[in-house]
């Protein structure tokens, strides 16, 4: 098994190592080879493969293939494929290598069967992905990347701690449904929660993703959070608390998205909103809900990737990505505009686009279990998604006020990557069974029934009407150069401000100690100076007779001592 079929992360990691020694077009070709080789390899691994090894008496499961891990494997390969194409023009060795290692780590994480191996890939993801942020090489990216890394590192630490405690309590390292009680499971839950951008733990995402390189963000948006959704679905499916956390995640980011100016940050908030739907699905935990969560993860990779790619293209071509600086780009970037609109329609869950066929599964599942309020919240969030991702992004970037920017469509490779994602969005929307047959649970579900299509169309068109009405009335908030305070204010401003008096005190004490030492040193130097300066004790000229006298005295003492010494023997 091991010889014929490699673990899914191996192709990516191997090529990452090879790319280290290649240059130019060869590197690009090799990078493109990674997802293709990976997909072929994954295709050949039989389902339900489990490989166990025993190291130092620990039974580890470095490879576990089942339907749940397989679909995540497929989606990561699809994401890696179009992301690599999108990044083909990038000649930055650091980005080339780290994106492959990052994809390898994500694949490793979804195909392991024990928590310790998961921890290894969990940390590898953190270490490799941060370079995609730092590769932007700006001061902001440096700071954001550092905060991102601290979050990811803490998540890994909690996972390790939780795993050890859970192991101690339950004697099991299996990465499967966990008993959600006790501190061990809670720590693991929080570790997953950080990576899944739970409310209040989410700021690493909205802080760092918009600061990454245009192509780096595509990888980031696809992998880390989806691994977290997978981990939750694997270990905490059916935990009711997830339903409420998810509901909060669908709602609060849309308010931020409306007032945020950086359009990639709008998408980052929108990503949390979409994760909310998945988390609710995992929390409900029925087969339909889990299928919904997983298929929504798949679809989110496509449409969120597409939207991030279109904004990345705008950033790449104009150097700007703030709503207040853009507008009217449809005139010279028509292809990007159409592709962005497909992404916008998909994320808004218009019928015939992929968002529709997955989001409705989670919502139906919520109603089936009697979570009417949650259903209403999700309905509100659906309208909200359309409002910020479906209308705001295309409107302020490609339409609206003419900014005077006349950038052309991006290079062919970027367009091709977007076309692939857009095609898949429409394909899955029109033929939902192409996705449904890959889902972990086999279940009959027909998204296209009359009342459902009508309901969703009404919701969206009236949301659009609201946007138009608000705009005409002048109520819609204009795009402004601004920063909106979020939970990260706590550690970026409040804590530093509270610590300021303590730090001031430390600085003062430190300064006094150093000043005192310098004063003492000066005193010593002055004394030495006094002794050595002309007329000082040590600078007096000695006469030869004086010197001879002293030498005679020394020799006499020496003689006396040696005589005394001999005498005593």
Partner 1 sequence: MTSEHKKYFLDNPNNVALIIRLLVVVCIVLFGLDFVLERHEKYSLANIPGFYALYGFIGCVLLVIIAKWLRTFLMRPEDYYDKKIQRKNARGENVDS
Binding residues vs partner 1 (CB under 8 A): 139-140, 143, 254-256, 258-259, 261, 330-332, 364, 367-368, 372, 375, 379-380, 383-384, 387, 399, 402, 406, 450-451, 454-470, 475-477, 480-486, 492-493, 496-497, 500, 503-504, 507-508
Nearest of 295, 212, 210, 215 to residue 257 by alpha carbon? 210
SS3 145: helix
- Write the DSSP string, 404-465: ---PPP--HHHHHHHHHHHHHHHHHHH-THHHHTTSSS--------HHHHHHHHHHHHHHHH
Residues 90, 101: Cα–Cα separation, whole Å: 16
Question: At closest approach, how far in Å is the CB of 413 from partner 1?
Answer: 25
Asked if 102 and 93 count as a contact pair (C-beta separation under 8 A), the reply is: no
Question: At closest approach, how far in Å is the CB of 354 from partner 1?
Answer: 20
Question: At closest approach, how far in Å is the CB of 287 from partner 1?
Answer: 17
**Cβ nearer to partner 1, comparing 1 with 454:** 454
**Cβ nearer to partner 1, comparing 478 with 536:** 478
**Cβ nearer to partner 1, comparing 502 with 569:** 502
Structure tokens at 398: 């490609």
Compute CA distances 298 → 41, 209, 214, whole Å.
20, 19, 21
**Cβ nearer to partner 1, comparing 102 with 375:** 375
Residues 251, 286: Cα–Cα separation, whole Å: 23
SS3 53: strand
**Cβ nearer to partner 1, comparing 399 with 448:** 399
Residue count of the chain, please give it. 569
**Cβ nearer to partner 1, comparing 401 with 522:** 401
| C-alpha dihedral, 206 to 212 to 213 to 214, nearest 10° | -10
Question: At closest approach, how far in Å is the CB of 445 from partner 1?
Answer: 14
Structure tokens at 389: 């991702």
Which DSSP symbol is given to 211? G
**Cβ nearer to partner 1, comparing 416 with 459:** 459
Question: At closest approach, how far in Å is the CB of 204 from partner 1?
Answer: 14
Nearest of 220, 216, 416, 400 to residue 336 by alpha carbon? 416
Which DSSP symbol is given to 262? B
Residues 329, 407: Cα–Cα separation, whole Å: 7
Question: At closest approach, how far in Å is the CB of 400 from partner 1?
Answer: 9
Question: At closest approach, how far in Å is the CB of 239 from partner 1?
Answer: 24
Question: At closest approach, how far in Å is the CB of 380 from partner 1?
Answer: 5
**Cβ nearer to partner 1, comparing 123 with 262:** 262
Asked if 332 and 408 count as a contact pair (C-beta separation under 8 A), the reply is: yes
Question: At closest approach, how far in Å is the CB of 161 from partner 1?
Answer: 31
Residues 102, 127: Cα–Cα separation, whole Å: 8
**Cβ nearer to partner 1, comparing 201 with 258:** 258
Nearest of 73, 122, 396, 118 to residue 261 by alpha carbon? 396
**Cβ nearer to partner 1, comparing 111 with 269:** 269
Nearest of 188, 176, 174, 162 to residue 59 by alpha carbon? 174
Question: At closest approach, how far in Å is the CB of 369 from partner 1?
Answer: 11
Residue 18 burial by Cβ neighbours in a 10 Å radius (0-12, 13-18, 19+) = middle
Structure tokens at 166: 């859970």
**Cβ nearer to partner 1, comparing 177 with 324:** 324
**Cβ nearer to partner 1, comparing 497 with 566:** 497
Question: At closest approach, how far in Å is the CB of 515 from partner 1?
Answer: 12
SS3 563: helix
Question: At closest approach, how far in Å is the CB of 372 from partner 1?
Answer: 6
Asked if 355 and 348 count as a contact pair (C-beta separation under 8 A), the reply is: yes
């Amino acid at each position: 098994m091991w010889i014929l079929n490699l673990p899914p992360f191996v192709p990516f990691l191997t090529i990452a190592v090879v790319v280290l020694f290649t240059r130019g077009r060869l590197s690009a070709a090799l990078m493109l080879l990674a997802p293709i080789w990976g997909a072929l390899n994954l295709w050949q691994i039989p389902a339900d493969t489990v490989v166990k090894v025993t190291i130092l008496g620990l039974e580890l499961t470095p490879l576990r293939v089942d339907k749940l891990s397989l679909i995540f494997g497929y989606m990561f390969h699809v994401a890696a494929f179009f992301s690599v194409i999108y990044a083909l023009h990038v000649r930055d060795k650091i980005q080339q290598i780290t994106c492959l290692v990052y994809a390898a780590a994500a694949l490793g994480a979804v195909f392991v069967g024990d928590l310790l191996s998961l921890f290894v890939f969990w940390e590898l993801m953190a270490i490799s992905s941060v370079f995609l942020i730092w590769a932007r090489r700006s001061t902001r990216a440096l700071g954001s990347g550092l905060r991102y890394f601290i979050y990811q590192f803490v998540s890994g630490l909690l996972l390790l701690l939780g795993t050890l405690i859970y192991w101690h309590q339950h004697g099991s390292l299996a990465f499967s449904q966990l008993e959600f009680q006790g501190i061990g499971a809670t720590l693991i839950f929080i570790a997953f929660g950080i990576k899944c951008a739970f409310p209040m733990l989410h700021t690493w995402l909205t802080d760092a993703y918009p600061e990454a390189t245009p192509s780096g963000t595509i990888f980031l948006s696809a992998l880390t959070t989806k691994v977290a959704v997978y981990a939750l679905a694997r270990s905490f499916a059916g935990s009711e608390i997830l339903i409420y956390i998810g509901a909060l995640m669908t709602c609060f980011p849309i308010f931020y998205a409306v007032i945020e100016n950086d359009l990639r940050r709008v998408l980052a908030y929108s990503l949390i909103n979409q994760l909310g739907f998945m988390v609710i699905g995992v929390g409900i935990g029925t087969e339909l809900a889990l299928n919904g969560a997983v298929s929504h993860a798949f679809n989110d990779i496509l449409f969120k990737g597409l939207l991030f790619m279109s904004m990345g293209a705008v950033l790449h071509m104009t150097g700007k990505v703030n709503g207040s600086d853009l507008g009217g780009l449809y005139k010279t970037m028509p292809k990007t505009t159409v592709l962005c609109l497909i992404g916008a329609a998909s994320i808004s869950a218009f019928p015939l686009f992929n968002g529709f066929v997955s989001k409705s599964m989670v919502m139906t599942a919520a109603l089936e279990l009697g979570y009417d309020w949650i259903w209403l919240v999700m309905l509100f969030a659906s309208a909200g998604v359309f409002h910020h991702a479906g209308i705001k992004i295309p409107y302020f970037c490609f339409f609206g006020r003419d900014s005077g920017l006349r950038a052309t469509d991006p290079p062919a490779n970027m367009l091709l990557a977007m076309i692939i994602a857009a095609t898949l969005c429409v394909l899955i929307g029109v033929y939902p069974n192409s996705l449904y047959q890959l889902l972990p649970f086999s279940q009959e579900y027909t998204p296209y029934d009359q009342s459902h299509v009508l309901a969703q169309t009404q919701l969206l068109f009236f949301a659009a009407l609201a946007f138009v009405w608000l705009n005409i009335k002048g109520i819609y908030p204009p795009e402004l150069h601004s920063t909106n305070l979020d939970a990260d204010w706590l550690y970026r401003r409040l804590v530093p401000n509270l610590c300021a008096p303590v730090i001031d005190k430390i600085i003062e004490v430190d300064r006094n100690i150093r000043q005192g030492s310098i004063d003492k040193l000066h005193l010593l130097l002055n004394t030495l100076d006094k002794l050595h300066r002309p007329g000082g004790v040590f600078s007096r000229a000695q006469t030869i007779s004086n010197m001879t006298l002293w030498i005679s005295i020394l020799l006499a003492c020496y003689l006396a001592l040696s005589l005394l010494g001999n005498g005593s023997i």
